[in-house]
Each structure stands twice: as C-alpha cells, then as structure tokens.
Amino acid sequence: MNTLLRLALLLALTPLTAADKPTALKPLFDGKTLAGWTVKGGTSTYHVEDGAIVGRTVEGSKNTFLCTTRDYADFEFECEVRCDPRLNSGIQIRSHTYAKATPQPSQPKKQRESGEVYGYQCEITTAAKGVSGNFWDEGRWTKWHDDLAQKPGAATAFKDGEWNHYRIVAQGDRIRSWVNGVPCADFRDALDATGFIGLQVHSIAKGTGPFEVRWKNIRLRELKAGEVVQ
C-alpha cells in the first residue's frame, strides 16, 4: 500500500471530533407560543394551533410578517409549510424594515412606509405559478433573483394542499433553496449579509378571504466560517 493510499484510508477511518461535526438544527418555534417572534408590516394575525404557526389574512392589511426578534447571517434553515392555494406567502431571510418613509429602489415614485419589510423572500404560492422556492426581492428591487423556468424540476416541486418541506442555505453572498428536496434557487447577491427571518401573510383583494398559511418544524443552525454545506 503506497503512502498516499494509506493516508487516505487513515483519514476516512478517523472519527470526526466535536469541532468537526456540524451542529444540529435547533427549533426557532417551540410549537406552543410565539416567543421569540414579533409582527411587522401589517395587521394580519398569527396564532399557534396543533403545533403549527397559523397566519390568517385580514382584509385591508398590507403584507404582514411574523419575524424573529434577532438577526441571522450565515445559516441553514428548514421548515414545513402548507398554504391556501388562493394565498401568496413566503419566508423572508436577512430582512429589514424601513426606518422612515423611503422611495422604493425599483420604483422611486412609490413610497415605502416606516415599518414595512424588505429583503430576500423565498416564495410560497400555488403550484400553477411555478415560482415557489425562488427568491423575490420584497419591498425593494421587486424582482426575481433566479429563473425557475430554466429548472423544470424546481418549477414543479411545490404541491398544493400538502405540507411542503423548505430548506434554505445562506452563506456569504450565496443563497440557495430546496422544496421537497428539489434544488430551486441558487444565486449570489451581496446586498444583505444579515437580517431577520419572517413568515409572510400576503395582502388580499377586497371581498376575498380569509385565507390561512401554516408553518411547523421551523429549525435553524448557524454556520461556521468556511463550513461546506451541500
């Protein structure tokens, strides 16, 4: 056995130390209360039911977000979500609120009010639209960060009326997503290195609703510098 082969075999058989092993994902939601979360942006409601966070539309409300009370930078995030097909929703990451009335960058004549949320939003919507798992630049550049039309498997990964598993990895300027294990968005953007996580209840048209979206098994682990995440 040559030296290189012997070294490779030794490394393969050497157990990982505690410092080498990735940390486990930890709950962001205790399954019983909304401790550690706060509502921003609108007046839609959130409550806990059967171990899930339930977001419910309120007619006349702007987009509303249930947000973590602290910020996160590099992380791996997972949750399960079930959304009424008539409702648009999403998961904000590295997001912020406007401190004062501010012209929207993509449309300067439009004013964003103090307290409105902006940032990267991983889309949750009816399967027919083919964009669930893509990232929308909420309240700021109002554009898609990737093109799922070029990824047929990604465009059909979301299932209406079912619990869908979402996974998001944000690391440096690279952001990725998976829906039900299918790779979806994968892009680079350096605008936001950190920010809060938020669960969206979208505004609705007059005379419609109420509609609901549910999230459960919400977990996260912060990544170490230079950690390789597949």
Domain chopping of the chain, boundaries:
34-222
- pLDDT number for residue 19: 47
- The separation between the first and the last C-alpha atoms of the chain, rounded to the nearest angstrom, is 32
* CA gap 37, 29 in Å, rounded: 9
Q: What is the pTM of this model?
A: 0.90
Strand partners, 97: 117
- pLDDT number for residue 23: 80
- pLDDT number for residue 66: 98
H or E segment and range at residue 13:
helix 3-13
DSSP 103-118: EETTEEEEEEPTT-EE
* CA gap 5, 11 in Å, rounded: 10
H or E segment and range at residue 7:
helix 3-13
- Report mean pLDDT in 10-residue bins for the chain, 230 residues: 43 44 88 98 98 98 98 98 97 98 97 97 97 98 96 95 98 98 98 98 97 98 94
- pLDDT number for residue 152: 86
Q: Please, are residues 55 and 214 in contact by the beta-carbon 8 Å criterion? A: yes
- pLDDT number for residue 21: 58
| CATH match of 34-222 with 2.60.120.560 | yes
* CA gap 200, 46 in Å, rounded: 10
